[in-house]
Structure 1
């Protein structure tokens, strides 16, 4: 695992369920919330203003949260709840639920299939467990710190490739209204990777790219900036699947880092070199 994403074992806290049992229940919760979003999925949702867009996004979030939040709060009553899914940076000490009730929400509104539901329990700024459900395929990805990463119970392993020049890599933008310096950095990094990697994919959301890194389908993913809910689930999955997690310059990654790189061990060093140009 990454030096910055550390195993916390299968701890039992204050008489609550051990983490492995808690993960099972978390996976059920994201699946239930995903069913709500699947029922709402269909044609393109039209909007004419930013206000109408935000209202449509919020309606999806609220519908999923109505199912997800009470279930997770019953599982861990003492855990804090991150209210803003786009927030970043370190969390206060203790346990926190970091969720994205409609990861890839804008895709959902446009009738695109790349969206899901995520829930991650963070303990003292370390992700302990995560569950990601993709309602259109019925797949559920899970990871437990120190316990591996799985797709519907089957172990996940990152790619064994050692040649960035033969690699499929991916990136994503953190949010629509990003700072100009970050958008320029994104553009430069894509140009660099177009020279050094085999194929570059650019799309949202970040979580789905990170699932593919954990499953060995994509060899590396990077992103500048980003929210905890975008990056924590995939970071834990990749780490538990044997991948390397750092920032884009190869330093240990935390939720307060300004970038993230998740890669197969065999291409991590070369990816850092490309992104550092």
Structure 2
């Protein structure tokens, strides 16, 4: 696949400008969700890889129909960045504005009759998510956030956890299973260290849903090694707009391509100390 096109220079944008895009972006996400929901069955139990792929491919194609054109009409200054192109970049995105989406976030859950799946759409500006929408068709729930404008679930403001003690914290993580052997050892070491330090540690997929849990205050922190923006962008924005702190594992502000820790303010430093000790 060719190198992504360079986006045209974006006109200056404000919180108000970005917020004005939200209703249309949410409508697109909800439309995609309705298509994918029509293919969903709580009784789905695929037995083979062929079973999975026979449903996954057509579902992804149907979900993608018309999405790029619809987003281009909303914000023509932003360029669509597909998952394959993002993977080739292996780190920070080029400067400018990008539409990034996981059209069926948690597809493997969908295909096994689980409920944690949906659609994410993120507007990224100069490597920072500035607008995010997550629609979960099961329950018909939509999460929205604009950088500087707060995070919401169906219009209700979200707040991160008020906990201050890591020993009573609910921690979450997720890895995609494609890591090399050294990275897998690091993942195991970090998980074990956090088990010794927190009340509970949960590993789950997809990445968006534990981040939503941080945004709602139900979880206290989330970490992941080498995440892609398409997997975490909307969730990071929602969590930070709800009051959480997002950094890399050196305590620096998080940017695309870096390891990620998103945590409630009262436990972030302690969680960072645990995770940084495993590097």
TM-score (normalised: structure 1): 0.89
Match of 2:101 in 1: 99
Cα RMSD after superposing both structures: 1.7
Shift of 1:37: 0.9
Give CA-to-partner distance per residue, 1:63-96, whole Å, 9 cap, x none: 2111533321221233211122662522222211
Aligned residue among 154, 163, 166 for 1:164: 166
Match of 1:80 in 2: 79
Match of 1:62 in 2: 61
Shift of 1:55: 5.0
1:254 matched to 2:255? The reply is: yes
Give CA-to-partner distance per residue, 1:14-72, whole Å, 9 cap, x none: xxxx21110121111101101111111113253534x6644533322222111533321
Distance 1:155 1:82 in 2: 29
Give CA-to-partner distance per residue, 1:158-181, whole Å, 9 cap, x none: 0000000001110011x2322222
Distance 2:141 2:109 in 1: 18
- Structure 1 regions of 5+ residues with no counterpart? 1-7, 12-17
Report if aligned partners of 2:228, 2:257 keep a CA contact under 8 Å in 1.
Answer: no
For the structure 1 residues 26 and 59, does the alpha-carbon distance in structure 2 shift closer, same or farther, using more than 3 Å as the test?
Answer: same
Alignment of 1:86-235 (within 5 A): 87=87, 88-173=90-175, 175-235=176-236
Match of 1:4 in 2: none
Distance 2:114 2:121 in 1: 22
Distance 1:239 1:123 in 2: 16
For the structure 1 residues 168 and 117, does the alpha-carbon distance in structure 2 shift closer, same or farther, using more than 3 Å as the test?
Answer: same
Distance 1:108 1:125 in 2: 30
TM-score (normalised: structure 2): 0.88
Answer with 78-87 or 143-152: which moved more: 78-87
Report if aligned partners of 1:9, 1:147 keep a CA contact under 8 Å in 2.
Answer: no
**2:253 aligned counterpart, secondary structure:** coil
Report if aligned partners of 2:227, 2:257 keep a CA contact under 8 Å in 1.
Answer: no
Shift of 1:187: 1.0
**1:261 aligned counterpart, secondary structure:** strand
- Structure 2 regions of 5+ residues with no counterpart? 1-12
Distance 1:54 1:60 in 2: 10
Number of aligned residues? 261
Shift of 1:136: 0.2
Answer with 236-245 or 86-95: which moved more: 86-95
Higher RCO, 1 vs 2 (CA within 8 Å, ≥6 residues apart)? 1
